[in-house]
Structure 1
Amino acid sequence: MLFERKNLTNTELTSIYRSLLYPRLIEEKMLLLLRQGKISKWFSGIGQEAIAVGATLALDSDEWIMPLHRNLGVFTTRNMPLHKLFMQWQGNKEGYSKGRERSFHFGSKEHHVCGMISHLGPQLAIADGVALAHKLRKDKKVSLAFTGEGGTSEGDFHEALNVAAVWDLPVIFIIENNGYGLSTPTNEQYRCESLVERARGYGMDGVKIYGNNILSVMDTIKGVREYCIEHQKPYLIECMTFRMRGHEEASGTKYVPKHLFEIWEEKDPIKNYENYLLSEAVLTEDDVISIRAELKNLIDSELLLANQAKPMEVDTEEELDDLFQPIADRNKSIVKIDHSDITHHSPLTTHDKRFVDAIKEALHQSMTQHPNLVLMGQDIAEYGGAFKITEGLVQEFGKERVRNTPICESAIVGAALGLSLEGYKGIMEMQFADFVTVGFNQIVNNLAKIHYRWGQNADVVIRMPTGGGLGAGPFHSQSNEAWFTKTPGLKIVYPSTPMDAKGLLIAAINDPNPVLYFEHKALYRAISGQVPEEYYEIEIGKARHVRSGDEVAIITYGAAVHWAEDYAAEHPEISIDILDLRSLAPLDYAAIRAAVQRTGRVLLLHEDTLIGGIGGEIAAWIAEHCFELLDAPVMRCASLDTPIPFNIELEQNFLAKARLHEVLQKLVDY
């Protein structure tokens, strides 16, 4: 193995040795603890340390890294306290995730390390978002993301590299090619000769290097970093290496031919670098013994400190509170209003606006209020979006902040999260809510869980044009809000009026947590109402009492609010109370209980299909908490349990509105 010291001093070479040796010695201790049953699982990076350590040493300490299972060297080289890392691996509350995560599924904003999720590929897009933040601020910084050769088969790899190339982002992608994805060898994973060849297909440069040479890794990544900053371009590096342990310790290594271990044992990154330092008289044998003893003593003392941690004390209230980042006090100065505030004597200036114009006004005012707000979506710039809601914004705020995206929903959700790591706000327009399926993983596993897992917020809003009534068929009309209401860590809002559309969108943008904002397409240009000109919020999690009645309560949201209002107007003989939920997560249980109390009869109405719709959850809550207030069974009126059809007559029959009269009469007559 050829080492080139270039202009590195003896002191620097020795420091690199310490950084390289430290994670190896920690791993040896971890394998002992695993055998003793003191940790539950371990993903070994033995044999691959030079990549993680070299990459981290090549970056500035405030440049984000997205590591994976075998990158202990990232955490140690960023000087994360070892006793706290031990606490993390032991599932202690004083670790980085309060015992909620294991092994390397955690991050630290202080150390600019982003916690991974098991799906691997989504981490790459987060690096895109961080790099975009650097580009917007004109920082001379990069972000860096790791993947294994197995992860390059995932669609997220393709999406992230394509976005980085199209947007000219200063991001480094590193492939740790260790020959196996769990037990599957590379000849069963891809057919190109080298994975770095894929760089050309994305329009970026790439290089293949030997990943066990610490000096080569450092030198390469330093040079690549300078290139990315100078040219504002991404770069792909394939590092050839080998893991000397199993995928994780329980999996063993029987599937690996014995001769490969013999070959790579001779290529051990630590042994070879150590021999080089000895041959160059940078270190003596005594120095090596002394450094190893010093590091082992440090490891033992840090483990002793970790073992003094208090036993886990479960706090249910804390568990629930940590789902979301608290909203900052600065938001208290924002005007907060509700429909009851709009009177003839109100100081607010209102105008009649369409639903679609209220959304556009919320975006415009928010872009003005937040210079760090970035809009992303397919065709949202010059074209103005599929529904023309963002039309004109690019002319005022520029293409840096109003960004057309490739067709890659997963990568753009991930990029929005990456922006959040660097203090930006991101709004993604999902062209149709139906298309969220290809970004589902990023939403439910990255956005929703990140604050609970390691305290990092996701300041992201995803706009979701949704719903039927326009004859658009099963892939442009479905109601899919219930997919997300069961996912802890997401806020779900669904306005029905122009006033709420503006106020709730502004509140969602100001909220530092992930919000899915559903906007019914059929309301865009069909519904108008009084909307204040001021920049205001309507509180997320508060329902709106639309109409008072004492005979039956309709609890609903979205377009179904208007179905309920129309029905009440057509049937004055029935005293109908209407509650517009507005927020589906969190739900306003106090308002729901009050509606039950006013009438004793409850109809849950929604456009979503019956089975699995949120109406079932609300019905169960009412039965459990308001049973004594009921005069009849809670009933549901929902759309058919079929895909939504294209033909207008079929669609009208599909929608819940077609059965509203029948179900409501049954409830009244009970």
Structure 2
Amino acid sequence: MKNDKMLTSSKSNITYDKKNLDSKILLQLYANMLKPRMVEEKMLILLRQGKISKWFSGIGQEAISVGVTMALNKEEYILPMHRNLGVFTTRKVPLNRLFSQWQGKANGFTKGRDRSFHFGTQEYNIVGMISHLGPQLGVADGIALASVLKHKNQVTAVFTGEGGTSEGDFHEALNVASVWHLPVIFCIENNGYGLSTPTDEQYNCKDLADRGKGYGMESFIIDGNNVVDVYSKISKLAESIRKRPRPILVEFKTFRMRGHEEASGTKYVPEQLMNEWAKKDPVRNFEVYLKEQKILTEKEDTILRDNILNEINENLQLAYDEEEIAPSVTNELNDLFKPFNYQEVSPKSKTNELRFIDAISEGLKQSMQRHKDLVIMGQDIAEYGGVFKITEGFVEEFGNDRVRNTPICESAIVEAGMGLSIAGMKAVVEMQFADFVSSGFNPIVNYLAKSYYRWNQNADVVVRMPCGAGVAAGPFHSQTNEAWFTKTPGLKVVYPAFPYDAKGLLTTAINDPNPVLYFEHKALYRSIRQDVPKDYYTLPFGKASLLKEGNAVTIITYGAGVHWALETLDKNPDIQADLLDLRTLQPLDTEAIFNSVRKTGKAIILQEDSLFGGIASDISALIMEECFEALDAPVKRVASLETPIPFVKQLEDQYLAKGRFETVLKELLEY
């Protein structure tokens, strides 16, 4: 390798201070660095031979991965990046499984569904990154929060590069960790370039460690090529954090000796800079040092290398011998969600007349009583009780540990919910308004939705979404944006219209180990009342409610649309309609829809969302595909205007689908 040629001196170019480290530890550090280096050298050969599709090289940075991993206890979580092979090998992940992963074989960790290091493994307490980089920082917060709540006295280490520090998730995660005193070591591998963009185009401070001051946390700079420094200093910091939980920011100064990925090359790096860093090769320098100190002999080094090479070759053969994955639609669809054994809990008590908002509050409170590992997070939800007062009084019963006010940082809090799930807990995240979910969109659709499919890690997170118009709240507080999520495989979407359903579906959402978007229409909060059982009960997902029966037309709707349809039918008692309240949009009760349409021969779908791209379009297409021969007229869709939601009442009334529904319904009946 080029960096081996650059270091020809018999003396190390790095100064090591072994302090009280015994020879056994020093040799282990060396062996743990040498192994990923040799694996990588083999992978580069396989890449050129076309036997793997892509490679992100960590050559030159092994000291960081190995030093940090050895400094942590094996039960403590590490969240590495795509250049941290040393984390996986130091945790003794079997090489044949890594090779299978990189070749897209079933014995890997993602069943061929993702590549390289985009995976995690609970067996080894490693949580892999996604390409968006930033979300794993907030996930580390959630894992660390679980450690605090369970009194485990554990540290969580999470990696990012200097380029990743430019993302908003970095700021949000560090801020949350600082405010909540979470035991996280944030590790920045400052390797000079974000792909081809040099550091002077990434940030304008001298050292990234200086940012720690702004978050009120300690920060340190460590020579990332000096494995003794990395191990010694991280060990000391980890021990301190276990005793006194708090976050710490560490900047490792290092360099990436290969391209961002191999196809990128390194032509954008000045040759002199490459040569200078080649002299600081962490593996070669430590080898020289150990031999200088008579800790490692040439013979021992040769034996070690031979053993590693044999291990690589033997495990590669195991991966080669493994059969290619046979595509199976059934397997793919069955692995979208963690299996959920729904258990019907029927109400046994008397009922109380409750408003829609009170039913949600009661379902949430009874779920908190039932699930001692459930944490609620959101802005102003603790002492203030939330802007809608749904969690009023919760702090007095459950305490601030489980009812947590958050900074204004939707991404980090969704990510923290994911971290809690990884650590075996449950989370309910309240968006103050459904509109604000756009600030937390990425972790929902790219992390929560895909984790189980990718590496069998469920996201036990419910995101509560106060939504909808009719309250003169304007363009930023009135959206009903369910179509953003019904489009995303891996998410469940619930949208009740009545207090009874709201309570029973919320308790089921919290029981379900998969991510659920739970929509609550604000205009229904205090306007709709119903008798609701006092005690705990559940309702199944994917079961629509038939509110009215008739033979002339099928009306399909949900949320506030249900009440608009009821008003219309009350005004027109001569219209004989099946009225279906969908209740859940994902899963969708297609059986109920098709049975009704085949009976009536006409269908109209009412949604509050604007028309194009909404769920009404998909339901219409499904009806056309499955019930075409039963139809006596075109399927009709009624939705709101193709504009943002206006504020003033007369414009809002004009915008909403409610005002057009009756006319379109009558036109359909006359067709």
Q: TM-score w.r.t. structure 2 length?
A: 0.97
Aligned residue for 1:169, secondary structure, equals coil
Superimposed CA distance per residue, residues 252-298 of structure 1 (whole angstroms, 9 cap, x where no aligned partner): 11000001111011100001111111011111111111111110111
1:336 deviation in Å? 4.7
Map of 1:48-447 to 2, 5 A cutoff?
48-328=61-341, 332=343, 334-336=344-346, 347-447=348-448
Displacement after TM superposition at 1:160 (Å): 0.1
Contact 1:179/1:242, CA 8 A, preserved across alignment? yes
Residue in structure 2 matched with residue 659 of structure 1 by the alignment: 660
Q: SS state of the match for residue 124, structure 2?
A: coil
Aligned match of 1:341: none
Tell me, yes or no, if structure 1 residue 602 matches structure 2 residue 603: yes
Higher mean displacement: 305-314 or 7-16 = 7-16
Residue 516 of structure 1 pairs with residue 517 of structure 2: yes
- Count of paired positions: 658
Separation (CA, whole Å) in 2 of partners of 1:117 and 1:551: 51
| Correspondence for 1:458 | 459
How far apart are the structure 2 equivalents of 1:296 and 1:536? 59
- The amino acid of 1:577's aligned partner reads D
1:348 deviates by 4.1
Deviations 1:499-540 (A, max 9, x none): 000000000000000000000000000000011112111111
- 1:249 is matched by which residue type in structure 2? E
Shift of 1:231: 2.1
Deviation, 1:89, is 0.2
Percent of pairs with identical residues: 60
Tell whether 2:488 aligns with 1:487. yes
- Alignment of 1:46 onto 2:59: yes
Superposed CA deviations along residues 440-497 of structure 1, whole A, max 9, x for unmatched, are: 0000000000000000000000000000000000000011000110100000000000
1:477 corresponds in structure 2 to 478
Give per-residue Cα distances to partners, 1:296-351, cap 9 Å, x unaligned. Answer: 111000101111101211111110010111125xx53x5157xxxxxxxxx54222
Shift, 1:26, TM fit? 0.2
Whole-Å separation in 1 of the counterparts to 2:209 and 2:243: 21
1:336–1:539: 8 Å Cα contact kept in structure 2? no
What is the distance in 2 between the residues matched to 1:226 and 1:93?
38
Query: Deviations along 1:402-425, whole A, 9 cap, x unmatched?
Result: 000000000000000000011110
SS at match of 2:361: helix
User: SS state of the match for residue 476, structure 1?
Assistant: coil
Matched residue SS, 1:380: coil
Residues 349, 532 of structure 1: 8 Å contact kept? yes
Structure 2 counterpart of 1:555, which letter?
I
CA contact under 8 A between 1:354 and 1:498: conserved in structure 2? Answer: yes
- Give the Cα–Cα distance (whole angstroms) in 1 for the partners of residues 93 and 546 of structure 2: 51
Per-residue CA deviations over 1:552-607 (Å, capped at 9, x if unaligned) read: 11100001001111111110111121000011111111011112022111000010
Partner residue, 1:545: 546
Separation (CA, whole Å) in 1 of partners of 2:375 and 2:579: 37
Q: Does 1:649 align with 2:650?
A: yes
Query: In structure 2, what is the equivalent of residue 340 of structure 1?
Result: none
1: distance between equivalents of 2:637 and 2:369? 43
C-alpha displacement of 1:9: 2.3
- More deviation in 8-17 or 593-602? 8-17
**What amino acid is the match of 1:189?**
Q
Q: Which moved more, 1:401-410 or 1:543-552?
A: 543-552
What's the offset of the Cα at 1:227? Answer: 2.2
Distance 2:389 2:581 in 1: 27
Measured against aligned partners, the alpha-carbon deviations of 1:148-181 in whole angstroms (never above 9, x if no partner) come to 0000010000000000000010111000000000
**Secondary structure in 1 matching 2:40:** helix
Q: Normalising to structure 1: TM-score of the pair? A: 0.97
How far apart, in 2, do the equivalents of 1:220 and 1:350 lie?
61
1:4 CA displacement: 2.0
Shift of residue 12 of structure 1?
Answer: 2.3
- Which amino acid in the other structure matches residue 351 of structure 1? N
State the SS of the aligned residue for 1:312: coil
The separation in 1 between residues aligned to 2:298 and 2:355, in whole angstroms, is 79
Instruction: Spell out the pairing of 1:524-543 with structure 2 (5 A cutoff).
Output: 524-543=525-544
Q: Distance in 2 between matches of 1:80 and 1:389?
A: 46
CA distance in 1, matches of 2:163, 2:465: 32
Q: Distance in 1 between matches of 2:593 and 2:126?
A: 43
Q: CA deviation at 1:194?
A: 0.2
Q: What are the ranges of 5 or more consecutive residues in structure 2 without an aligned counterpart?
A: 1-13
Question: Equivalents in 2 of 1:336, 1:256: separation in Å?
Answer: 67
| Paired residue secondary structure (1:461) | strand
- 1:72 alignment partner AA: L
RMSD of Structure 2 on Structure 1 (CA) = 0.9
Within the alignment, does 1:11 sit opposite 2:24 as a pair?
yes
Q: Distance in 1 between matches of 2:237 and 2:250?
A: 9
* Aligned twin of 1:590: 591
Are 1:227 and 1:233, in contact at CA under 8 Å, matched by a contact in 2?
no
Amino acid at match of 1:92: K
**Alignment equivalent of 2:42, drawn from 21, 29, 32:** 29
Partner Cα distance (2:505, 2:373) in 1: 19
Q: Choose 437-446 or 542-551, whichever is displaced more.
A: 542-551
